[in-house]
Amino acid sequence: MSDVILKLNDICKSFFSVEVLHHVNLELRQGEILGLVGENGAGKSTLMNILGGIFPMSAGSIEFLGEPYEPASPKYATEKGIAFIHQELNLFTNLSVAENMFIDNFPTGFLGRIDKKKIRAKSQEYIDKYDLNVRASAKMGNLPMGSRQMVEIAKALMKNAKVIIFDEPTTSLSNREKEKLFKAIRELKENGVSIIYISHILEDVLLLCDRISVLRDGKVVHTDKRERYDRAGLIRDMVGRELTQVYPSVEKEIHDKVLEVKDLNCAGFVKGVSFCLREGEVLGLFGLMGAGRTQILRAVFGLDPKESGEVRVFGEEVKKPSPGECIHRGMAFITENRREEGLLMPRPVSTNLLMVKNEELAGSMGVVDTKEEAELCRKMVKTLDIKTARPDQQAANSLSGGNQQKVVMGKWLLKEPKIFLVDEPTHGVDVGAKYEIYRLILNMAKEGSAILVVSSEMQELMGICDRILVLSNGRLTGEVRKEDYSQERIMKFAL
Ligand SMILES: Nc1ncnc2c1ncn2[C@@H]1O[C@H](COP(=O)(O)OP(=O)(O)OP(=O)(O)O)[C@@H](O)[C@H]1O
Ligand SMILES: [Mg+2]
């Protein structure tokens, strides 16, 4: 257990003369699962990108299996046996599982033809060896996210990876898929593979890891055995102070109906969904992955057509909901798929923040030109603690994952919508920022907005909602009021 196979010495990294990693030292032992946690922008992904040969380091050195390790490219890392499973998987959805596994190394037969049989057999062998439960011939795009993750693992194993890095692997997994992933990770460990596991879900880190390193502001502040850590201790090390309250308490009142949905049928399997949302209310929509939560939001907001049913906003029927129509009536929708749908990646943070607030800016070259706008941005950056030195210059795509999510949240918060639909508001966001997002949501409700929140974290919904609707297989199966909240009750409706 104690043989160190990978040693990072005094790693520093700067982007445009701003140092984001400061003399990081880290050791990984054979056959261990090392957790890596830290606030958004702490430097976790950057450190792993260096290890994976994606960015060069500015200073420092790395030893791997007793030899100098100089990752000049991802290829170098792979050849040495370090695999990196990114949050956005690098898989080709139009190819088969087997083709994906051999993508950078096709064995060719007669006349240079790809030997499909061979790659299929070889792939299946690896898949079965680790009991990953996918078919090598299946088309990648038809597999659920969990299975795609398994393919990435099989791919890493096929290349004989001795170290596998997981950067927030569970954000798009269902609970069952997550359990499978953890089982696979534990088996890898039994087979002597070393794992680095990055996540904001601290319960998972505590459950899975043998040791945990905490990164704060580009430095390793503490590394310890899992037994010596609990949730509060991890948070203390991450944020540098005690964080006692997880959910803010805000006094507010609930008034008239502002959104009514009647007998909604959509997406082929969502049937007869009816509910209403009131001014000042935070309403939760819970369901297991695939229950139809996102489909309902999309149909209400007019992103996808509904088959039938009625949507009323402030008492008036919206005959043909479309996003433009909905925004015009004071609604906003934050999609779960924020990376793809939410941001103008090459544009600065401030442009992104002001994008919906100033509709005239959207689509134009959007520069922040008034003092007032700059001040609004500054405030939002501060409130959500968006890690950026120059919001008017730093492009959104150079922010850390969690900070990008905060920008998407921030731009809609600035608009102060009257009816706010939010899908997974805190995915990938660190604990401190979660609290701020909850506080903003509750304060908006207090000011008279109505908020519908979809989340797969039941605790989160119980912490901020006045009421929770439960969805199962496209149908509403229950409604639980705050005074009756219990995990068992909600889960019973969801199953
Ligand atoms: N390509 C880049 N150009 C400029 N700055 C960058 C670039 N990539 C990362 N950074 C900066 O480096 C810092 C660390 O970012 P990193 O992505 O490593 O954080 P993280 O710990 O992975 O956070 P998260 O939990 O949000 O994913 C951030 O301040 C980020 O803005
Ligand atoms: Mg990251």
Q: Each residue of 275-318: pLDDT tens digit?
A: 999 999 999 999 887 789 989 999 999 999 999 999 999 999 99
Give the pLDDT confidence score for residue 31 in this predicted structure: 95
Angstrom distance (rounded) from CA 157 to CA 39: 30
**Nearest CA owner, ligand 1 atom 12:** 20
Report the pLDDT averaged over residues 248-276.
94
Q: What class, spelled out in words, does domain 257-494 have in CATH?
A: alpha beta
CA 268 to chain centroid, in Å, comes to 27
Give the pLDDT confidence score for residue 1 in this predicted structure: 45
Give the pLDDT confidence score for residue 339 in this predicted structure: 61
- State the closest ligand 1 atom to the C-alpha of 404, by its place in the atom list counted from 1: 26
Predicted confidence (pLDDT) at residue 156 exceeds the cutoff of 80: yes
Predicted confidence (pLDDT) at residue 369 exceeds the cutoff of 50: yes
Give the pLDDT confidence score for residue 51 in this predicted structure: 96
Of the ranges 111-125, 208-222, 391-405, 423-437, the best mean pLDDT one: 208-222
**Nearest CA owner, ligand 1 atom 16:** 43
Confidence grade of residue 149 (pLDDT, cut at 50, 70, 90) = confident
Which residues, chain by chain, have CB under 5 Å from ion ligand 2? 45, 400-401
**Nearest CA owner, ligand 1 atom 31:** 399
* Ligand 2 center–CA 44 separation, angstroms: 6
Angstrom distance (rounded) from CA 351 to CA 347: 6
Predicted confidence (pLDDT) at residue 324 exceeds the cutoff of 70: yes
Angle between helices 401-415 and 371-383 (to 10 degrees): 130
Predicted confidence (pLDDT) at residue 342 exceeds the cutoff of 80: no
Average pLDDT, the chain: 88
Dihedral sign from CA coordinates of 215, 16, 73, 93: positive
| Ligand 1 within 6 A of CB of 49 | no
Give 107's DSSP letter: -
Confidence grade of residue 223 (pLDDT, cut at 50, 70, 90) = very high
Domain boundaries, the chain: 4-239, 257-494
Best mutation site among 400, 404, 426, 437 for ligand 1 pocket (most ligand atoms within 8 Å of CB)? 400
Establish whether domains 4-239 and 257-494 are of one fold.
yes
CA 272 to chain centroid, in Å, comes to 30
Report the pLDDT averaged over residues 190-201.
95
| Ligand 1 within 6 A of CB of 11 | no
Angstrom distance (rounded) from CA 438 to CA 306: 30
| Pairing assessment for the beta strands 450-454 and 419-423 based on DSSP bridges | parallel
Dihedral sign from CA coordinates of 47, 53, 58, 61: positive
Best mutation site among 13, 16, 26, 45 for ligand 1 pocket (most ligand atoms within 8 Å of CB)? 45
| Pairing assessment for the beta strands 82-85 and 163-167 based on DSSP bridges | parallel
Angstrom distance (rounded) from CA 195 to CA 335: 31
Predicted confidence (pLDDT) at residue 176 exceeds the cutoff of 90: no
Q: Which of 210, 268, 279 is CA-nearest to residue 419?
A: 279
| Ligand 1 within 6 A of CB of 14 | no
More confident residue, 16 or 227: 227
| Pairing assessment for the beta strands 306-313 and 316-317 based on DSSP bridges | antiparallel
Predicted confidence (pLDDT) at residue 422 exceeds the cutoff of 70: yes
Percentage of the chain modeled with pLDDT above 90: 54
Own/partner long-range contacts of 121-124 (Cβ < 8 Å, ≥24 apart): 122/98, 122/158, 123/97, 123/98, 123/154, 123/158, 124/98
| Ligand 1 within 6 A of CB of 15 | yes
Angstrom distance (rounded) from CA 272 to CA 308: 9
Give the pLDDT confidence score for residue 114 in this predicted structure: 67
Angstrom distance (rounded) from CA 331 to CA 336: 16
Predicted confidence (pLDDT) at residue 461 exceeds the cutoff of 50: yes
C-beta atoms surrounding 39 within 10 Å: 26
Strand extents, DSSP E, 2-92: 4-15, 18-29, 33-37, 59-64, 67-68, 82-85
CATH number of 4-239: 3.40.50.300
| Ligand 1 within 6 A of CB of 352 | no
